[in-house]
Amino acid sequence: MRKIFIIFVMALAACTFQTKHRGYVFPDDLEAKVATIKTTAQLQDEIGDPQTRTIYGDEVWIYYGADENMRGPFPKTYDNKTVLLAWVKNGRVVKTQILHDADLPDVKLADGETDIPAAIELNALEELFNNIGRFSPAGLAQ
């Protein structure tokens, strides 16, 4: 009976539910706050520094936040995804757009690996002999 109880507790522990927030934690009244923002200084005070900025075309500041859900052995899922886009020009916020779950496409990641052009494929033995002489002995500080 004790063994069955231990197995039951271990199986139950493997099926726990955990949610972690990734990225920005946006306020509940995000639309109202963003509507009053006119400068980049106000945007940084209210939301913070952007996670990324575009380097080509119009300058756009991008903020992203999502909840990562983990349910035991099942794959991770993400919900409550929110993206804030702010078009910036000369220190002024020209336009903002808020995207939620329904506005964002589901992106499926492909299985496998992407081939790297001109990559050199070495087997384990070639890797071992390739590294001979590359490292200095400990303590010589060369």
Asked whether residue 137 is assigned to any structural domain, the reply reads no
Q: List pLDDT tens digits, range 50-104.
A: 989 988 888 999 999 888 888 777 778 888 888 888 899 988 999 988 888 888 7
Nearest to 66 by CA among 18, 101, 27, 116: 101
Residue 68 included in any domain: yes
Spell out a b/e string for 101-129, using b for 16 or more CB atoms within 10 Å of the CB, else e.
eeeeeeeeeeeeeeeeeeeeeeeeeeeee
In this prediction, residue 106 carries a pLDDT of 76
Q: Indicate the SS3 state at residue 21.
A: strand
Q: Residue 69: which domain range? A: 20-105
Q: Is residue 90 part of a domain?
A: yes
Please tell me the total count of domains within the chain: 1
- Full DSSP string of 46-100: HT-S-SEE-SSSSEEEEEEEEEEEEETTSPPEEEEEEEEEEEEETTEEEEEEEE-
* pLDDT tens-place string over residues 22-58: 888 888 888 888 888 899 899 888 888 898 998 888 8
CA–CA dist 12, 90 (Å, integer)? 56
Residue 33 lies in a domain: yes
pLDDT at 84: 85
Is residue 19 classed as helix, strand or coil in its secondary structure?
strand
First vs last Cα of the chain: how many Å apart? 63
Residue 31 lies in a domain: yes
